[in-house]
Amino acid sequence: MEVVETIEQIRKIISKAKSAGKKIGFVPTMGALHQGHLSLIEAAKKQSDFVVVSIFVNPTQFGPGEDIAKYPRPFDADTEACKNSGVDVVFAPTVEQMYPGKNITWVNVEKLSEPLCGKSRPGHFRGVATVCAKLFNIVRPDFAFFGQKDAQQVIVIQRMVADLNMPLEIVVCPTIREKDGLAMSSRNKYLNTAQRKDAVLLYAALQEAELFIAAGEHKSSLLKSQMEKILKISKQIKIEYISIVDARTLEAIDEIKGKVLIALAVKLGAARLIDNIVLDVE
């Protein structure tokens, strides 16, 4: 497995693979790889002939006061995990490679970037869309793999690819959870033992909503207050949002019907955690 830093190097490697008729599968990451990322790599291995993983902590998707400085960067462990998973090449550019000089060209997926996480993280999805557009232009993948855990990110990227006629397919893979239900995330590392215990309440709240819906409750307001009750079992959890929205438009809905995204974000100690479920309701 090769690990390359420059755009020139990765372009050469990709050109060679493409000339050999290989389909390129791409897993963009910010490193600190966990089982969730490995499941994306596994899906990429199954669906393509040549797998590229990028490791790049993208500064343009962090707001002021967010965790970019302390974002975990276990680079050797990450490359080792990639090697063991059968990745063909890791692209790990520097910030200077990706953003030489001041960036003045941005990809802004309007409307879909504004609600949910966009409210408390203004500019976040502009940074995500811009870096993904740049990475897609550099790697020229046939398929790019994203986790359902970042539901809004997936919707933003899918819309960018459609609106800008980018020639690749976005493949969405299921959220990978710990045994107790906590969605895997690089940010789980910030939790101390007590916070880690309370973190199970995120998925418990989502499951509670699912149970209520299965029992015939379709009022968003009631479901949200039920979820809030579960989260408030923890004194440490600070709710940022609990949203019930149309899974395609991200517009809030009062009555559960059709394809619905139930998403939440909380602060728990130093960690900001998100989770969601998507339901198809008659």
Tokens of residue 223, six digits: 């479901």
Least separation in angstroms between CB 219 and ligand PAF: 33
Our CB check for ligand PAF shows the closer of 135 and 261 to be: 135
**Contact positions vs ligand PAF (CB under 6 A):** 28-30, 58, 61, 128, 131-132, 150, 153
Cβ nearer to ligand PAF, comparing 153 with 234? 153
Phi, psi angle pair for 176, to nearest 5°: -100, 130
Supply the DSSP symbol for 252: B
Q: How far is the CB of 145 from ligand PAF (least distance, A)?
A: 10
CA distance 132 to 268: 28
Burial 85-97 (b: 16+ CB within 10 A, else e): bebbbbbbbeeeb
Q: How far is the CB of 108 from ligand PAF (least distance, A)?
A: 15
The residue type of 83 is K
The nearer residue to ligand PAF, 31 or 230, going by C-beta atoms, is: 31
Contact assessment for residue 14 and residue 140, using Cβ atoms and an 8 Å cutoff? yes
Q: What is the smallest separation between the CB atom of 150 and ligand PAF, expressed in angstroms?
A: 5
Shortest spacing between CB 198 and ligand PAF, in angstroms: 24
Q: How far is Cα 172 from Cα 157, in angstroms, rounded to an integer?
A: 11
**Per the structure block, which two tokens stand in for 235?**
């004194």
Active site residue 37: yes
Query: Which one of the listed residues 34, 37, 124, 218 is annotated catalytic?
Result: 37
d(CA 97, CA 195): 37
For 113-246, strand residue ranges (E) read 143-147, 169-173, 237-246
- Kindly tell me which of 148 and 195 has the beta carbon lying closer to ligand PAF: 148
Measured from the CB atom, the residue of 29 and 234 that comes closer to ligand PAF is 29
Q: Which residues are catalytic?
A: 37
